[in-house]
Protein backbone atom coordinates (compact mmCIF):
# COMPACT_ATOMS: atom_id res chain seq x y z
CA UNK A 1 0.00 0.00 0.00
CA UNK A 2 1.32 3.44 -1.00
CA UNK A 3 1.71 5.44 2.21
CA UNK A 4 3.04 8.57 0.52
CA UNK A 5 1.20 11.74 1.41
CA UNK A 6 -1.37 10.13 3.69
CA UNK A 7 -0.90 12.72 6.42
CA UNK A 8 -0.98 15.70 4.06
CA UNK A 9 -4.14 14.45 2.38
CA UNK A 10 -5.89 13.90 5.70
CA UNK A 11 -4.79 17.30 6.98
CA UNK A 12 -6.08 19.09 3.88
CA UNK A 13 -9.43 17.32 3.89
CA UNK A 14 -9.99 17.74 7.65
CA UNK A 15 -9.62 21.52 7.63
CA UNK A 16 -13.32 22.33 8.10
CA UNK A 17 -13.38 20.24 11.29
CA UNK A 18 -10.31 22.07 12.52
CA UNK A 19 -11.97 25.42 11.78
CA UNK A 20 -14.99 24.46 13.89
CA UNK A 21 -12.70 23.68 16.84
CA UNK A 22 -10.82 26.96 16.33
CA UNK A 23 -14.10 28.86 16.54
CA UNK A 24 -14.71 27.28 19.94
CA UNK A 25 -11.34 28.64 21.10
CA UNK A 26 -12.19 32.11 19.84
CA UNK A 27 -15.58 32.02 21.56
CA UNK A 28 -13.92 31.15 24.86
CA UNK A 29 -11.31 33.89 24.46
CA UNK A 30 -13.45 36.67 23.01
CA UNK A 31 -13.76 38.55 26.32
CA UNK A 32 -9.96 38.57 26.81
CA UNK A 33 -9.44 39.67 23.22
CA UNK A 34 -11.81 42.58 23.66
CA UNK A 35 -10.20 43.49 26.99
CA UNK A 36 -6.68 43.72 25.54
CA UNK A 37 -7.97 45.67 22.55
CA UNK A 38 -9.49 48.28 24.85
CA UNK A 39 -6.81 48.34 27.56
CA UNK A 40 -4.07 50.14 25.63
CA UNK A 41 -3.98 52.50 22.68
CA UNK A 42 -1.54 50.81 20.34
CA UNK A 43 0.02 52.92 17.62
CA UNK A 44 1.05 50.07 15.36
CA UNK A 45 0.64 46.33 15.02
CA UNK A 46 3.33 44.03 13.66
CA UNK A 47 2.60 40.45 12.63
CA UNK A 48 5.53 38.08 12.43
CA UNK A 49 6.35 34.48 11.63
CA UNK A 50 8.67 32.37 9.48
CA UNK A 51 7.96 30.66 6.18
CA UNK A 52 4.26 29.92 5.97
CA UNK A 53 3.43 31.98 9.03
CA UNK A 54 5.27 34.96 7.55
CA UNK A 55 2.97 34.73 4.52
CA UNK A 56 0.09 34.36 6.95
CA UNK A 57 1.33 37.54 8.60
CA UNK A 58 1.22 39.37 5.26
CA UNK A 59 -2.44 38.43 4.84
CA UNK A 60 -3.18 39.11 8.50
CA UNK A 61 -1.67 42.60 8.58
CA UNK A 62 -3.71 43.68 5.57
CA UNK A 63 -6.90 42.26 7.03
CA UNK A 64 -6.27 43.63 10.53
CA UNK A 65 -5.60 47.17 9.29
CA UNK A 66 -8.65 47.07 7.03
CA UNK A 67 -10.93 46.01 9.88
CA UNK A 68 -9.49 47.94 12.83
CA UNK A 69 -7.89 51.01 11.23
CA UNK A 70 -4.67 50.40 13.16
CA UNK A 71 -1.46 50.70 11.08
CA UNK A 72 -0.38 47.08 10.60
CA UNK A 73 2.46 45.41 8.75
CA UNK A 74 4.23 42.09 8.53
CA UNK A 75 7.91 41.18 8.87
CA UNK A 76 9.78 37.88 9.05
CA UNK A 77 10.79 37.08 12.61
CA UNK A 78 14.44 36.99 11.58
CA UNK A 79 14.23 40.66 10.51
CA UNK A 80 12.78 41.70 13.87
CA UNK A 81 15.51 39.77 15.66
CA UNK A 82 18.51 40.77 13.53
CA UNK A 83 17.47 44.24 12.31
CA UNK A 84 15.33 45.82 15.02
CA UNK A 85 16.32 49.41 14.18
CA UNK A 86 14.92 49.13 10.67
CA UNK A 87 11.97 47.01 11.78
CA UNK A 88 10.48 49.20 14.49
CA UNK A 89 9.50 52.84 14.30
CA UNK A 90 9.63 55.16 17.31
CA UNK A 91 6.03 54.52 18.30
CA UNK A 92 5.24 54.51 21.98
CA UNK A 93 3.20 51.33 21.98
CA UNK A 94 3.44 48.40 19.59
CA UNK A 95 1.44 45.21 19.57
CA UNK A 96 3.51 42.30 18.28
CA UNK A 97 1.48 39.31 17.12
CA UNK A 98 3.73 36.28 16.71
CA UNK A 99 2.35 33.31 14.78
CA UNK A 100 3.89 29.84 14.74
CA UNK A 101 2.56 26.34 14.13
CA UNK A 102 5.06 24.65 16.45
CA UNK A 103 5.79 27.52 18.82
CA UNK A 104 9.43 26.39 18.80
CA UNK A 105 10.93 28.21 15.79
CA UNK A 106 14.15 29.86 16.94
CA UNK A 107 13.84 33.11 14.99
CA UNK A 108 10.32 33.71 16.28
CA UNK A 109 11.28 33.01 19.88
CA UNK A 110 14.29 35.34 19.68
CA UNK A 111 12.27 38.10 18.03
CA UNK A 112 9.72 37.89 20.85
CA UNK A 113 12.39 37.84 23.56
CA UNK A 114 14.11 40.90 22.09
CA UNK A 115 10.79 42.71 21.80
CA UNK A 116 9.83 41.97 25.41
CA UNK A 117 13.29 42.80 26.82
CA UNK A 118 13.21 46.25 25.25
CA UNK A 119 9.65 46.90 26.51
CA UNK A 120 8.34 47.96 23.12
CA UNK A 121 4.73 47.05 23.92
CA UNK A 122 2.58 43.94 24.28
CA UNK A 123 3.01 40.47 22.81
CA UNK A 124 0.16 38.28 21.59
CA UNK A 125 0.93 34.76 20.34
CA UNK A 126 -0.95 32.32 18.12
CA UNK A 127 0.19 28.69 18.07
CA UNK A 128 -1.09 25.15 17.52
CA UNK A 129 0.97 23.27 20.11
CA UNK A 130 -0.10 24.12 23.68
CA UNK A 131 3.11 22.95 25.38
CA UNK A 132 5.41 25.04 23.19
CA UNK A 133 7.66 27.85 24.41
CA UNK A 134 5.84 30.52 22.42
CA UNK A 135 2.50 29.55 23.95
CA UNK A 136 3.75 30.87 27.30
CA UNK A 137 5.30 34.17 26.24
CA UNK A 138 2.41 36.48 25.45
CA UNK A 139 0.11 38.78 27.35
CA UNK A 140 -2.49 36.70 25.57
CA UNK A 141 -1.76 33.31 24.00
CA UNK A 142 -4.30 31.96 21.52
CA UNK A 143 -3.80 28.21 21.13
CA UNK A 144 -5.45 26.21 18.35
CA UNK A 145 -4.58 22.53 18.90
CA UNK A 146 -6.90 21.38 16.11
CA UNK A 147 -4.33 22.79 13.67
CA UNK A 148 -1.54 20.42 14.80
CA UNK A 149 -0.02 18.40 11.93
CA UNK A 150 2.35 15.54 11.23
CA UNK A 151 3.34 16.76 7.76
CA UNK A 152 6.22 19.14 7.21
CA UNK A 153 4.31 21.43 4.81
CA UNK A 154 1.63 23.44 6.57
CA UNK A 155 -1.95 23.13 5.34
CA UNK A 156 -4.44 22.66 8.17
CA UNK A 157 -2.27 24.65 10.59
CA UNK A 158 -2.09 27.59 8.22
CA UNK A 159 -5.81 27.87 7.58
CA UNK A 160 -6.68 27.31 11.25
CA UNK A 161 -4.29 30.02 12.42
CA UNK A 162 -5.58 32.31 9.65
CA UNK A 163 -9.12 31.79 10.91
CA UNK A 164 -7.80 32.80 14.32
CA UNK A 165 -6.60 36.07 12.80
CA UNK A 166 -9.99 36.62 11.17
CA UNK A 167 -11.71 36.18 14.52
CA UNK A 168 -9.16 38.34 16.30
CA UNK A 169 -9.57 41.15 13.76
CA UNK A 170 -13.35 41.01 13.96
CA UNK A 171 -13.46 41.10 17.76
CA UNK A 172 -10.75 43.77 17.96
CA UNK A 173 -12.81 46.00 15.70
CA UNK A 174 -15.84 45.53 17.94
CA UNK A 175 -17.85 43.79 15.21
CA UNK A 176 -19.39 41.06 17.31
CA UNK A 177 -22.28 40.99 14.83
CA UNK A 178 -19.86 39.84 12.14
CA UNK A 179 -18.04 37.45 14.44
CA UNK A 180 -21.27 35.58 15.06
CA UNK A 181 -21.47 34.77 11.33
CA UNK A 182 -18.10 33.00 11.09
CA UNK A 183 -19.52 29.70 12.30
CA UNK A 184 -20.93 28.99 8.84
CA UNK A 185 -17.44 28.59 7.36
CA UNK A 186 -16.78 24.93 8.32
CA UNK A 187 -19.91 23.64 6.58
CA UNK A 188 -19.30 25.85 3.53
CA UNK A 189 -15.70 24.69 3.31
CA UNK A 190 -16.67 21.02 3.58
CA UNK A 191 -19.17 21.34 0.75
CA UNK A 192 -16.68 23.09 -1.51
CA UNK A 193 -13.95 20.51 -0.91
CA UNK A 194 -16.41 17.74 -1.80
CA UNK A 195 -17.73 19.50 -4.91
CA UNK A 196 -14.36 20.48 -6.42
CA UNK A 197 -12.12 17.61 -5.36
CA UNK A 198 -12.15 15.92 -8.76
CA UNK A 199 -11.37 19.19 -10.57
CA UNK A 200 -8.34 19.95 -8.41
CA UNK A 201 -7.16 16.34 -8.73
CA UNK A 202 -7.29 16.54 -12.51
CA UNK A 203 -5.42 19.85 -12.60
CA UNK A 204 -2.79 18.63 -10.17
CA UNK A 205 -2.08 15.50 -12.21
CA UNK A 206 -1.47 17.47 -15.42
CA UNK A 207 2.31 17.34 -15.54
CA UNK A 208 2.43 19.09 -18.91
CA UNK A 209 2.15 22.30 -16.91
CA UNK A 210 5.70 23.33 -16.05
CA UNK A 211 5.22 26.68 -14.29
CA UNK A 212 2.48 27.89 -11.99
CA UNK A 213 1.65 31.41 -10.84
CA UNK A 214 -0.69 32.52 -8.07
CA UNK A 215 -2.26 35.98 -8.27
CA UNK A 216 -3.92 37.73 -5.35
CA UNK A 217 -4.29 41.31 -4.15
CA UNK A 218 -5.16 42.89 -0.83
CA UNK A 219 -5.36 40.29 1.93
CA UNK A 220 -5.24 37.60 -0.75
CA UNK A 221 -1.65 38.41 -1.73
CA UNK A 222 -0.31 36.72 1.40
CA UNK A 223 -2.51 33.71 0.63
CA UNK A 224 -1.18 33.59 -2.94
CA UNK A 225 2.37 33.59 -1.52
CA UNK A 226 1.50 30.70 0.78
CA UNK A 227 -0.06 28.60 -2.00
CA UNK A 228 3.01 29.30 -4.12
CA UNK A 229 5.15 27.99 -1.26
CA UNK A 230 3.00 24.85 -1.01
CA UNK A 231 3.53 24.20 -4.72
CA UNK A 232 7.29 24.53 -4.33
CA UNK A 233 7.54 22.50 -1.12
CA UNK A 234 5.32 19.59 -2.07
CA UNK A 235 5.84 19.24 -5.82
CA UNK A 236 9.20 20.93 -6.55
CA UNK A 237 7.50 22.99 -9.27
CA UNK A 238 8.57 26.39 -10.58
CA UNK A 239 6.01 28.67 -8.97
CA UNK A 240 5.66 32.36 -8.09
CA UNK A 241 3.11 34.72 -6.54
CA UNK A 242 2.23 38.26 -7.59
CA UNK A 243 -0.30 40.99 -7.01
CA UNK A 244 -2.81 40.85 -9.85
CA UNK A 245 -1.98 44.01 -11.78
CA UNK A 246 1.75 43.64 -11.10
CA UNK A 247 1.73 40.54 -13.27
CA UNK A 248 1.55 42.75 -16.35
CA UNK A 249 4.76 44.53 -15.33
CA UNK A 250 7.25 41.88 -16.38
CA UNK A 251 6.07 38.45 -15.17
CA UNK A 252 3.62 38.26 -18.09
CA UNK A 253 6.65 37.48 -20.28
CA UNK A 254 6.85 34.04 -18.61
CA UNK A 255 3.40 32.92 -19.82
CA UNK A 256 3.42 29.99 -22.25
CA UNK A 257 0.98 27.27 -23.25
CA UNK A 258 2.48 25.18 -20.43
CA UNK A 259 1.70 27.77 -17.73
CA UNK A 260 -1.10 27.66 -15.17
CA UNK A 261 -2.19 30.93 -13.56
CA UNK A 262 -4.44 30.61 -10.51
CA UNK A 263 -6.30 33.81 -9.71
CA UNK A 264 -7.77 34.50 -6.25
CA UNK A 265 -10.59 36.78 -7.38
CA UNK A 266 -11.90 39.47 -5.05
CA UNK A 267 -15.38 40.92 -5.01
CA UNK A 268 -14.50 44.61 -4.94
CA UNK A 269 -11.99 44.61 -7.81
CA UNK A 270 -12.99 41.56 -9.80
CA UNK A 271 -13.29 43.43 -13.11
CA UNK A 272 -9.61 44.44 -13.00
CA UNK A 273 -8.55 40.94 -11.96
CA UNK A 274 -10.61 39.16 -14.63
CA UNK A 275 -9.02 41.50 -17.18
CA UNK A 276 -5.56 40.24 -16.21
CA UNK A 277 -6.72 36.65 -16.57
CA UNK A 278 -8.17 37.47 -20.01
CA UNK A 279 -4.77 38.80 -21.08
CA UNK A 280 -3.18 35.55 -19.94
CA UNK A 281 -5.69 33.45 -21.88
CA UNK A 282 -4.96 35.48 -25.00
CA UNK A 283 -1.29 34.54 -24.61
CA UNK A 284 -2.18 30.86 -24.49
CA UNK A 285 -1.82 30.33 -20.74
CA UNK A 286 -4.13 28.10 -18.70
CA UNK A 287 -6.25 29.91 -16.12
CA UNK A 288 -8.07 28.78 -12.97
CA UNK A 289 -10.16 31.44 -11.26
CA UNK A 290 -11.33 31.02 -7.65
CA UNK A 291 -13.83 33.35 -5.99
CA UNK A 292 -17.33 33.94 -4.76
CA UNK A 293 -19.11 33.78 -8.12
CA UNK A 294 -18.61 33.66 -11.92
CA UNK A 295 -15.34 31.78 -11.39
CA UNK A 296 -14.13 28.26 -12.22
CA UNK A 297 -14.35 27.42 -8.52
CA UNK A 298 -17.24 29.43 -7.07
CA UNK A 299 -17.87 29.62 -3.33
CA UNK A 300 -21.44 30.94 -3.53
CA UNK A 301 -21.07 31.36 0.22
CA UNK A 302 -23.07 34.51 0.81
CA UNK A 303 -20.71 35.55 3.63
CA UNK A 304 -18.68 38.76 3.85
CA UNK A 305 -15.47 38.85 1.85
CA UNK A 306 -13.22 39.23 4.90
CA UNK A 307 -14.44 35.83 6.11
CA UNK A 308 -14.45 33.94 2.85
CA UNK A 309 -10.73 34.46 2.13
CA UNK A 310 -10.00 31.24 4.00
CA UNK A 311 -11.95 29.30 1.37
CA UNK A 312 -9.26 29.84 -1.29
CA UNK A 313 -6.71 27.78 0.60
CA UNK A 314 -7.82 24.13 0.27
CA UNK A 315 -7.85 24.25 -3.54
CA UNK A 316 -4.29 25.47 -4.05
CA UNK A 317 -3.18 22.98 -1.40
CA UNK A 318 -4.95 20.08 -3.10
CA UNK A 319 -3.46 20.91 -6.50
CA UNK A 320 0.03 20.97 -4.96
CA UNK A 321 -0.64 17.65 -3.21
CA UNK A 322 -1.92 15.92 -6.35
CA UNK A 323 0.99 17.24 -8.40
CA UNK A 324 3.44 15.92 -5.81
CA UNK A 325 1.83 12.48 -5.88
CA UNK A 326 1.76 12.43 -9.70
CA UNK A 327 5.49 13.18 -9.76
CA UNK A 328 6.24 10.28 -7.41
CA UNK A 329 7.20 12.55 -4.50
CA UNK A 330 6.12 12.40 -0.87
CA UNK A 331 4.30 15.58 0.15
CA UNK A 332 4.53 14.55 3.81
CA UNK A 333 8.31 14.96 3.69
CA UNK A 334 9.46 17.62 1.18
CA UNK A 335 13.10 17.68 0.11
CA UNK A 336 15.61 19.31 2.46
CA UNK A 337 12.98 20.54 4.94
CA UNK A 338 12.16 19.99 8.61
CA UNK A 339 8.86 20.82 10.29
CA UNK A 340 10.60 23.13 12.79
CA UNK A 341 13.70 25.24 12.16
CA UNK A 342 15.86 25.39 15.29
CA UNK A 343 19.15 27.28 15.40
CA UNK A 344 22.02 26.48 17.74
The answer on 315 and 263 residing in a single domain is yes
The answer on 163 and 241 residing in a single domain is no
Domain membership of residue 344 (yes or no) is no
The 10s digit of each residue's pLDDT in 264-284 is 999 999 999 999 999 999 999
Domain membership of residue 332 (yes or no) is no
The answer on 287 and 230 residing in a single domain is yes
Q: Measured between alpha carbons, how far is 17 from 38 in angstroms, rounded to an integer? A: 31
The 10s digit of each residue's pLDDT in 223-233 is 999 999 999 99
The answer on 197 and 134 residing in a single domain is no
Domain membership of residue 195 (yes or no) is yes
Instruction: Give DSSP secondary structure letters for 85-150.
Output: HHH--S-S-EEEEEEESSS--HHHHHHHHHHHHTT-EEEEEEES-TTSSGGGTSSEEEE-GGG--S
**Residue 168 belongs to a domain with what CATH number?**
3.40.50.10490
Is the pLDDT at 146 greater than 60? The verdict is: yes
The answer on 175 and 41 residing in a single domain is yes
Domain membership of residue 337 (yes or no) is no
The answer on 197 and 175 residing in a single domain is no
Domain membership of residue 342 (yes or no) is no
The 10s digit of each residue's pLDDT in 45-88 is 999 999 999 999 999 999 999 999 999 999 999 999 999 888 88
Q: Measured between alpha carbons, how far is 252 from 241 in angstroms, rounded to an integer? A: 12
The answer on 279 and 138 residing in a single domain is no
The 10s digit of each residue's pLDDT in 172-212 is 988 888 888 889 999 999 999 999 999 999 999 999 999 99
Tell which wins on pLDDT, 331 or 36. 331
Mean pLDDT of 309-317: 97
Please provide the distance, in angstroms rounded to a whole number, between the alpha carbons at the two ends of the chain.
39
The answer on 154 and 248 residing in a single domain is no
The answer on 139 and 29 residing in a single domain is yes
Domain membership of residue 289 (yes or no) is yes
Domain membership of residue 336 (yes or no) is no
Q: Measured between alpha carbons, how far is 319 from 197 in angstroms, rounded to an integer? A: 9
Of 138, 158, 180, the one marking the end of a domain is: 180
The answer on 190 and 69 residing in a single domain is no
The answer on 38 and 159 residing in a single domain is yes
Cα radius of gyration rounded to whole Å, the chain: 19
Average pLDDT, the chain: 94
The answer on 146 and 23 residing in a single domain is yes
Domain membership of residue 287 (yes or no) is yes
Number of compact structural domains in the chain: 2
- Structural domain of 115: 6-180
Compute φ and ψ for 213, nearest 5 degrees: -120, 140
Amino acid sequence: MDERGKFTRQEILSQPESWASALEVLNKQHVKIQEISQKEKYEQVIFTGCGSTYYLSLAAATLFQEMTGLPSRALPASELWLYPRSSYCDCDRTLLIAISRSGETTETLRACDTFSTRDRGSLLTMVCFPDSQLARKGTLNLIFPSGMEKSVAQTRAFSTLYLGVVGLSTLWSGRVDLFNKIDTLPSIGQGLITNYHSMTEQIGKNLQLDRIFFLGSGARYGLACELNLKMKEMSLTYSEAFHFLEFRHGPMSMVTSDSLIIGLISEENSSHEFSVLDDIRNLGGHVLSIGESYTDISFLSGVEEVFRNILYLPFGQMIAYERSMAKGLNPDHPNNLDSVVKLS
